[in-house]
Amino acid sequence: MALLVGEIFRRNAANFPERIAASMENEQLSYAELNDAGNAMARVLAERGIGHGDRVVCWADTSLEVLPLFVGLAKLGAIFAPLNARLVPDEAGDIIAWAKPKLLVADAERAEAAQALAMAQGIPFGAIGTAAATSGTDLTRAASTCSRDEVQCAGLTESDPHVIFFTSGSTGRPKGVLLSHRVNCLRGFQGVFVDEPERSVCMFPLFHMAAFTLAIAAWQTVGEIVLVGTPTAEALLGAVARRSANRLYCIPAIWGRILEADFDRFELSSLRTIDTGTSATPPELLDSLRRQFPDATLRVYYGSTEGGAGTALASRDVAHKPGSVGRPVPGVELRVTEEGEVCLRSDYLMDGYFEDEPATTAALRDGWYHTGDLGNLDEEGFLWITGRLRDVIRAGGESVSPSEVEAVLVQHPAVAEVAVVGIPDPEWGELICAVLVLNPAAEAGGEKLDLESLRGYCKGRLARFKHPRRMEIAPSLPRTAATGQIQRPLLVERILAAGSGSQGSEDAE
């Protein structure tokens, strides 16, 4: 039987129609409701010319209204391409133009900007979850009157592309990670429960690969994905208590917030597994989690959008291997090159980057995915991540391209040169730090530049999670003699040696 994502919903609706598939706050969708809504949405999309292999970009925040679109596209064999809801219109427009979708879909908050972008680029537009859409574009309303009969795509195979997730590349241009139906189904089997349905609280937004990996994992156990709008400690712990969740995966920064919460307010005895990863996980955090959740299994995962879960530090190893990201998960082969780069090989790997053959060829070589991470293996086969080969900053679970941020900051009238680097941080993995060489004319004129005003300049030009959270002023930037390239590692060394600099007080986005 082919591994097709749409089949998960058909089977679960047929066998467990009343069981809850997804919830958010006080709203719920059973498997029957979600499958029916997906079939209806598929018919609405088909009426608008969407079919096998077509791309549909969805620019929307986390909500249950996104799920029927996800299911409907899977049944049609069309490609779901979610866009980061926090992007500003110019950023979104650049990615939409590059993706060349057959339809642009947006929620209420982004509907006006999305419709303007769609008109400018000659792309049809559709809205979900809103009555504010222009007549004829409200997909949710149109689907409410459509047949719920099962939809199937003739000719759809498990190797066909299912999703495109957009992630920052080292050059500033985003990369579109292509994942097939087969890969997404297989990733969903990594580490799921076998003795009870997985009821998993999801801190990730629905434009993030991890959100759908967690969701598919839960759905393949006929379990439930519990969505939250903003991943505050109260929202996450409240969701665990409300839905008797047995799994909670959070990045280290979010776990840090959760550990400061008033646990007496929440009934958390249902939690069986607590997971973390994505960025560096301090041993002190792991110790605190073990003390707070002594009866739960604690795991640390290392992975990526391109490779899925690569390694895991099992609960039994957390105490004597703190700081390691563990051993390869079942089905994954791991090696470290002579240069120290971590490489993975498995059936979980991406199919490639959308319309970027050079990047695909560089990342996938002889069946191995070259992660760009530096690491080493100890004598027991445990992997330790030591740094990055590529200039991508990992801040709070997001990948940020330094060159993309630099392209905005260098336009500031007070800035002559700029280099953006990632500074190691125990809470967020890395902080985005802007190292600035000031314009002599601006300095002579008495113009002052601080972190707050620099972040203000970024507003409307960059999504907030890309704004610098630290700023350093330098007389010049270190460059290589041969090519004039900025020596980012040297900058980081200098900043760390000098100690604290100008740092923001806002939480990372």
Amino acid in the structure at residue 487:
Q
Distance CA 158, CA 269 (A): 39
5-15 helix and 66-76 helix, angle to the nearest 10 degrees: 110
Please enumerate in sequence order all residues whose Cβ is within 8 A of that of 60, keeping only pairs 6 or more positions apart, or say none: 66, 82, 85, 105, 106, 107, 110, 128, 129, 206, 207
pLDDT at 436: 93
CB atoms under 10 Å from CB of 76, counted, come to: 25
Residue 509 has pLDDT above 50, yes or no: no
Q: What is the pLDDT of residues 2-31, one digit of tens each?
A: 999 999 999 999 999 999 999 999 999 999
Residue 381 has pLDDT above 80, yes or no: yes
Q: Mean of the pLDDT values across residues 486-491?
A: 81
Rg (CA), the chain: 23
Residue 404 has pLDDT above 90, yes or no: no
Domain ranges of the chain: 23-187, 298-390, 393-503
Mean pLDDT of the chain: 90
CA distances from 393 to 95, 107, 301, 362 (A): 20, 29, 18, 19
Distance CA 478, CA 465 (A): 26
Q: What is the pLDDT of residues 253-309, one digit of tens each?
A: 889 899 999 999 999 999 999 999 876 688 888 999 999 999 999 999 999 999 999
Q: What count of Cα atoms within 13 Å lies in the side-chain half-sphere of residue 384?
A: 11
Residue 399 has pLDDT above 50, yes or no: yes
Homologous superfamily assigned to 393-503: ANL, C-terminal domain (3.30.300.30)
CA distances from 176 to 143, 207, 352 (A): 29, 12, 8
Q: 359 with 169: CB under 8 angstroms?
A: yes
Q: Which of 71-80, 237-246, 467-476, 483-492 has the lowest mean pLDDT?
A: 483-492
End-to-end CA distance of the chain: 42
CATH class of 298-390: mainly beta
Please enumerate in sequence order all residues whose Cβ is within 8 A of that of 420, keeping only pairs 6 or more positions apart, or say none: 393, 402, 403, 405, 406, 409, 432, 433, 434, 435, 468
Q: Indicate the helix (H) or strand (E) that contains 493.
A: helix 488-498
Higher per-residue confidence, 417 vs 23: 23
Q: What is the pLDDT of residues 294-348, one digit of tens each?
A: 999 999 999 999 999 999 999 999 988 988 999 999 999 999 999 889 999 999 9
CB atoms under 10 Å from CB of 416, counted, come to: 17
Q: Which two tokens stand for residue 90?
A: 């110019």
89, with CB counted inside 10 A (0-12, 13-18, 19+), is middle
Q: Do domains 298-390 and 393-503 have the same CATH topology?
A: no
Chain-centroid distance of CA 238 in Å reads: 23
C-alpha angle 144-40-139 in degrees, rounded to nearest 5 = 60
Q: Which two tokens stand for residue 64?
A: 């249950």
pLDDT band at 501 (very low <50, low <70, confident <90, very high): low
Domain 23-187 in CATH 3.40.630.10? The answer is no
Amino acid in the structure at residue 417:
E
